[in-house]
A and B are shown apart, each in its own frame.
Chain A
Amino acid sequence: MRNKHPVWSGFLLLIIGGVIGYVIGLGLEVLVTGTLNYSASVPSAFALLFAVSSFFFGLYGYRGITRGLVWQVIGTLIGGLFITGIRAAMGLKAFGDFFFTEPAWVVGELVGVIAFLFGVGVVSDWMKWARGIETPEHHEDVPTWEKYFGVSLDHKVIGIQYTATALILMGVGGTFAMIFRTELARSQLQFLTTTFHLFNQNGPQIYNTLLSLHGIIMIISILLGVAGIMNYVVPLLLGAQDMAFPRMNAFAFWVAVPAAMLLLMSLVLGGFDTGWTGYPPLSARAPVGVQMFFWGVFTAGWASILGSLNILSTVVRMRAKGMTAMRMPIFVWSSVATSIIALTATQLIGLSFQLVSFQRLFGMGFFDPAKGGNPVLFQHLFWFYSHPAVYVFVLPGLGVISELLPVFARKPLFGYRWVAMSSLGIALVGFLVWAHHMFASGMNEYLRVPFMYSTLLVAVPTGVKFFSWVATMWGGKIETPTPMLFVLGAIIVFLMGGLSGPPNATVSTDLHLTDTYFIVGHFHDTIFGGFVFPFFAAIYYWYPKATGRRMSELWGKVHFWMMTPSFLVLTFGMMRIGLLGMRRRIVDYDPALGFDTTQTVLTIAGFLIFISVVIFAINFFYSMKHGEKAEGNIWNSRSPEWQVPSPMPAHNYAIPFRVVGHPYDYGLPGSKYVEFISEPDYTHHEEVHPETKTH
């Protein structure tokens, strides 16, 4: 089915579907409870599911993602009704506060996720293999935008799918942040008051839910963004045709979509007030939304695990000829380091959430002191992943910085070997630092000092990277197009994050800083500097490679100059009030503390960041069709993917290349990085820089 204005029919159906879903939900609610409650959970849940599914139906028709979403809804209902039926037969309570009871929701959501995967068709090849039917190595390529809404095995398509999903989730998480940031602008409760009711929650509860969801949705969005860049870029840098396991690659992306739906569902199903960490004494008592959160994170974790498994296999097995370990681009090194963490540690956040979920369902008292459990154990399991997770976020970002700096400074990367090894160093030390989140948790005191020192040790490999960046820029012919601006911004912001880290790592100061806004400021600095800025840099940099057009420089610069100062104001302000005693995760603060002015400034800064990202998003979508054409090597890069015309052809390199030199020898006369095995004939390719003769 073709229609001329898919986006508009999508939005139209979004509204219609939302209304229909709301009415159905309201009807069911009345049927089960007998009362008419307009702000109840079930109508909103149905409205959400129907709206999202109808949007994609209008956009794309009943195939690909639409089919997946419809099946997810059906699967959730079937799973839920099945358990409800069993409960009714056993004489237990069949319906709870949120329509289904908690076990029914858990089974329903898991069946829903599996149904999604079958519906979207990402497992069909495996099902054929299990029946002994062979399938072709690659699927047919659909030449239009439509391939992004269905299962594709092409790593470039999957990379873009990841990136787009990450941006959408970032928008959702950012919107949540804006809502609670607005509430925080003045002391006392303004609009999220106790009389405000939505989704079975009152104002402060909504605040808690939004804040927790902001955390976890941003984290999932970052994981998807990381996977997006790695998926798109790593095989191109290696000269591979695709990833080692294309089907698993597609699976890893598609499993993240139902996971995102589960996280959104948690908002309407009573929410959860635990923060994104979900510590048990609280999370064992939170509403059923916390189950959606647990299993949403669990499912999204598989995206991360399988994606990194794929990256590692690809790097080990599919490098171009001549690409020895010490000739791999830095971004590949950092992807390897990231993947090692994500492959192994992610299991433990899944396990810890699973254990809490089972504690709620079956009364297994892992973390319940009344039953001989230990709540601190949860924190150990949880942080064993969740601390290395921040290295999963920042290592690819730092890799992007090291990758892009030499291009725009026109100089070799300073200390290549040290930079490559520092990524692995951060990854390995990162496994040994988790308990620094728990200095105030009541764990054994003798653990504090070793964890303090191991944490401070992280500064060493990170410092190696900073020295390399400064030395690379030193005396270079620095050009500052938008990607380079974001790289420079990343270095500055990450430096702020790094400098505010040691006070948190040191036991004596951390005991005072724990759970204050200082932590929030520090964390946002590290993640923006380590991931978000490089992510934008990477998008501005590789966008022409993916689309054949470049994003508007002017609006890119507006984006940068609007975002960076506001962001620094935001985080410095957070650190200031944090030092003065502002607690994190609370909806209100005492006016006598005198934070009102700072909080107002923070809110304004927050909105400026939001607007700048909106500008970016418009630029991103507008430039796809209307951007300036850029098919050659517009950044004068030595990297192989820029030696072929943009957009990248379907199976990457028509002619394989051989690596004959070091990747970052910019400005060294006569140096060569890649050599195509037979001369490619790209007639419109210009010889752009006298020093980088690759042909």
Chain B
Amino acid sequence: MIHVQDKKTMLNQGVLIFVYLGVLSLIEYFIAIAFDAVPLLVVVLLIKAVLVTYYYMHIYKLNLESHVEDEGSYEYKTGTNRLGLWLFLVSDSFVFAGLMVTRMNLLGLTRPPLNQVLGLLITMVLLVSSFFMNRGETLMNNGDRKGYLRNILITFILGVVFLLGVVTVEWPTAIREGLTPSSGPYGAVFFMMTGMHAFHVVTGLIFLMIVYRNARKGLYDQKNYPIEAAAVYWHFVDLVWIFYYPALYLIGALVLS
């Protein structure tokens, strides 16, 4: 659709997508609370996933360099790198899919007793971090290094907030309410899914740190694929949460462990 655009349009597009995603998240929450309609929920989260994959992760860019002839050029290698990263994400998504299968098999249409407010909050934090990541990447593509650095710093801080929110607030809260890893299938599934996701957040934060530091030294002014790679990976972590949040917090009947 809209691939090559000027800076302002692209930034506006980022804001628009963010608003869409935020509204859809609220709709999702509302559906879960009011109707408990899983098929509807699945439709909404698939729309969110498509928006993230297309507008944030730029899956169409896989097709960009196919016209480049010189196999030694940076453009061609970037195309190869993109393909490699996407193949890795496909592979990685099988881990998350496997955990989702585990969740569905063990819990069915029930869900663990979790703090809804906390869940919604950390979800929003991750969503906002994705917005700033996208904004930073867009600015960098338009040559605004300062803006990029500012935005990626915000992304990084929000990522840390998310991580701390899960590990230091949400986990202890769950444990206080009796939901421990060894307490039963609910605890096991909850800690495994959030733990696996948190592990990916940690690796994502490491990549963000690297691209922040190197960009500040001016290394990515010409060859800026690493920024795109870190961004795509970060959005992938967000994408996973788009599926995991409903799976843990919204789907099914609440069970008291």
Contacts and interface: CB of A to CB of B under 8 A. Distances in A.
A366 B102 contact: yes
Given A318-B71, A343-B87, A344-B94, A364 B106 contact: no
A316 B92 CA distance: 20
B106 A351 contact: no
Interface in A320-374: 343-348, 350-352, 355, 358-359, 362-366, 371-374
A305 interface: yes
Contact of B95 (A248, A347, A362): A347
Interface in B175-201: 181-182, 184-189, 191-192
A305 B95 CA distance: 12
A312 interface: yes
B99 interface: yes
Given A313-B84, A377-B102, A371 B71 contact: no
B39 interface: no
Interface string B65-95: 0000001000010011001100110111011
Nearest to B72: A137
Contact of B106 (A131, A358, A359, A374): A374
Given A309-B91, A313-B84, A347-B91, A365 B105 contact: no
Interface in A348-407: 348, 350-352, 355, 358-359, 362-366, 371-374, 377, 380-381, 384
A31 interface: no
A313 B87 contact: yes
Nearest to B226: A129
A245 B95 CA distance: 23
Q: Which of B91, B95, B99 has the most CB of A within 10 A?
A: B91
Interface residues of B, number: 34
A364 B192 contact: yes
Contact of A316 (B83, B98, B101, B214): B83
Contacts of B182: 362-365, 371
Q: Which of B92, B188, B217 has the most CB of A within 10 A?
A: B188
B188 A132 contact: no
B210 interface: yes
A313 B83 contact: yes
Given A309-B88, A343-B91, A381-B101, A372 B184 contact: yes
B188 A365 contact: yes
A344 B101 CA distance: 15
Contact of A348 (B71, B94, B213): B94
Contacts of B184: 365, 371-372
B102 A372 contact: no
A93 interface: no
A413 to B, nearest CB: 29
Contacts of B109: none
Given A351-B98, A364-B187, A366-B185, A312 B192 contact: no
A285 interface: no
B47 interface: no
A1 interface: no
A142 interface: no
A384 B100 CA distance: 14
A130 interface: yes
B102 A355 contact: yes
A229 interface: no
Contacts of B83: 244, 312-313, 316-317
Contact of B181 (A312, A352, A364): A364
A132 B80 contact: no
A367 to B, nearest CB: 10
A102 B100 CA distance: 28
Given A313-B80, A317-B83, A366 B106 contact: yes
B80 A244 contact: yes
A365 B188 CA distance: 6
Contacts of A355: 102, 192
B216 to A, nearest CB: 10
A338 to B, nearest CB: 14
Nearest to A361: B181
A277 B201 CA distance: 31
B23 interface: no
Interface in A54-95: none
A364 B194 CA distance: 14
B65 to A, nearest CB: 9
A560 B214 CA distance: 58
Interface string A294-312: 0000000000010001101
Contacts of B71: 317-318
B185 A373 contact: yes
Given A344-B91, A347-B95, A355-B192, A363 B181 contact: yes
Contact of A317 (B80, B181, B192): B80
A200 B90 CA distance: 43
A317 B106 contact: no
Nearest to A656: B71
B219 interface: yes
Contacts of B191: 362, 364
Contacts of B79: 317
A657 to B, nearest CB: 14
Contacts of B92: 347
A299 to B, nearest CB: 15
Contact of A381 (B84, B98, B185): B98
A322 to B, nearest CB: 14
Interface in B140-185: 181-182, 184-185
Contacts of A352: 98
B84 A309 contact: yes
Nearest to A130: B210
Contacts of B188: 359, 364-366, 371, 373
B234 to A, nearest CB: 16
Contact of A245 (B84, B189, B217): B84
Nearest to B94: A347
A245 to B, nearest CB: 6
Contact of B214 (A132, A310, A318, A365): A132
A358 B182 CA distance: 10
A377 B106 contact: yes
Contact of A372 (B84, B88, B185, B210): B185
Contacts of A351: 95, 98-99
A131 B219 CA distance: 10
A422 to B, nearest CB: 23
A365 B192 contact: no
Interface in A109-130: 130
A245 B78 CA distance: 12
A132 B227 CA distance: 13
Interface in A425-480: none
Given A365-B182, A377-B106, A345 B192 contact: no
A344 B192 contact: no
A305 B90 CA distance: 11
A245 B77 CA distance: 10
Contacts of A309: 84, 87-88, 91
Nearest to B183: A371
A306 B184 CA distance: 35
Contacts of A364: 181-182, 187-188, 191-192
Contacts of B186: 372
Given A244-B84, A347-B95, A373-B106, 15 more contacts: A132-B214, A132-B217, A309-B87, A309-B91, A344-B90, A347-B91, A347-B92, A348-B98, A359-B188, A364-B181, A366-B185, A366-B188, A372-B106, A372-B184, A384-B98
13 contacts: A131-B214, A132-B219, A309-B88, A313-B80, A313-B83, A317-B80, A317-B83, A344-B91, A348-B95, A358-B181, A366-B185, A371-B185, A373-B188
Per CB-CB distance, the 3 closest pairs between chain A and chain B, nearest first, are A363-B182, A364-B188, A347-B94
